[in-house]
Amino acid sequence: MMMYHRILITTTLCVVFATLQVCAWSFASWDFPEIVIKLGGDNSYLDHAKRFLRKHPLTDTHNDWPILLAFLKEGKVNNLDLTNLDEGHTDIARLHAGGVGGQFWSIYYPCELKDDNQMLWVIHSIDTTKRMIAKYPDVFEYVTDTHGFKHAMRHDRIASMLGLEGGQYIYNSAAALRTFYDLGVRYMTLTHNCDTDWAISCCDPNPPPFDPSLGLTEFGQKLVLEMNRLGMMVDISHVAHSTMHAVLNITRAPVLFSHSSSNALCGIERNVPDAVLERLEETDGVVQINFYNQFVECNYPDTPATVNTVADHVEHIAAIAGRHRVGLGADYNGIEVAPEGLEDVSKYPNLFAELLRRGWSEQELQGLAYGNLLRVWKKVEKVGHELAKKELPMEDLFEPINKDV
């Protein structure tokens, strides 16, 4: 590529200056390598990345667009043009520009609020998301299984799935867990930034409800096993490192980190430590990389995060766990600031271009784009089908109803 551009430039200059008889001029004094890089280096990687994503659209496992629509638009999507929006990191035009072919839309309500509106808000967010999908049937397709995922991809629609960001919404109830599954939720993050009664979070400043070294209570373990039986992915982003290990000790299906980064590169509890990455092969799990500046660059804002910073996290996790165990969960609309070069969902090609520059093959990038996640999801479904044949649903324990009331 570089030689081609050198010959092309040289020949063109010779033709242009032929009438002036200056073609014998030595071109050695010209700084051609810099010109060549600009014409055939970074741009060629970006062009390659865009062509690749047109052929293999990516799937991201965490986007908080439903929250933005709820907060800023009060969930009123009926008369809202979602093609181009000034607010946030996402709209239809930018999704297409970024090569997005699948998205888990996050259902979330701040766990710190702990008020009576929590469940209503969650139901409202699920409804808003489904109405958004239905409003644009040529753009989105509502998906609840891997067969539907493939169908959406074949028909050039954005496969749209639901993820529940926090186990606090099930109110310690297996019945509520199953109801969310029936509503279309296909992964549940065990905690957000607050502990639940049965799982320890990464980031709760309050005293833990039980010994944090355990990660999960016995009830929490049973919930994980019930998620396995349902065929619901167990998401262990946001949980404490002890909880990560506790889940890996008992799960019968692959685990998912829906939006996490490397603890070795940015040593916060929110990120995944190498000791956990080394265990991913036990369940054949996957880590979907979070783009949040403060998760990928601990010196931010003194050191700005860039597309290269995120690529470093991709490569580190791949180096420890394998390139077949990494994907994308950017957390767009849930993060305050995105890295330079990854400012919104239209910028994914920049990351793929950087990884191409670093030597990633198209087969490896296809895994990063969606293949690694799809493998995990298929296995979770398979485990669920097998367990459902031989295990009964987990039952809740209720206090007896006072019949005198």
Amino acid code (one letter) for 105:
W
Active site residue 64: yes
195, 297, 331, 354: the active-site residue: 331
C-beta separation of 152 from 89 below 8 A: no
Question: What tokens were used for 28?
Answer: 């050695």
Q: Say how far residue 160 (Cα) sits from the centre of its chain.
A: 13
Question: What are the DSSP E strand ranges found in 237-370?
Answer: 255-260, 286-289, 326-328
Active site residue 238: yes
5, 56, 60, 64: the active-site residue: 64
5, 238, 241, 313: the active-site residue: 238
Active site residue 151: no
Distance CA 201, CA 111 (A): 11
**N-terminal to C-terminal alpha carbon distance within the chain:** 82
Q: At what angle do helices 118-135 and 65-73 cross, to 10 degrees?
A: 100
Active site residue 192: yes
C-beta separation of 349 from 46 below 8 A: yes
Active site residue 165: yes
5, 56, 192, 245: the active-site residue: 192
Q: Which helix (H) or strand (E) segment is 49 a member of?
A: helix 42-55
C-beta separation of 180 from 167 below 8 A: no
Active site residue 259: yes
62, 96, 241, 245: the active-site residue: 62
Distance CA 281, CA 369 (A): 19
60, 91, 141, 165: the active-site residue: 165
How many CB atoms are located within 10 Å of the residue 145 CB? 14
Which are the catalytic amino acids? Answer: 62, 64, 165, 192, 238, 259, 331
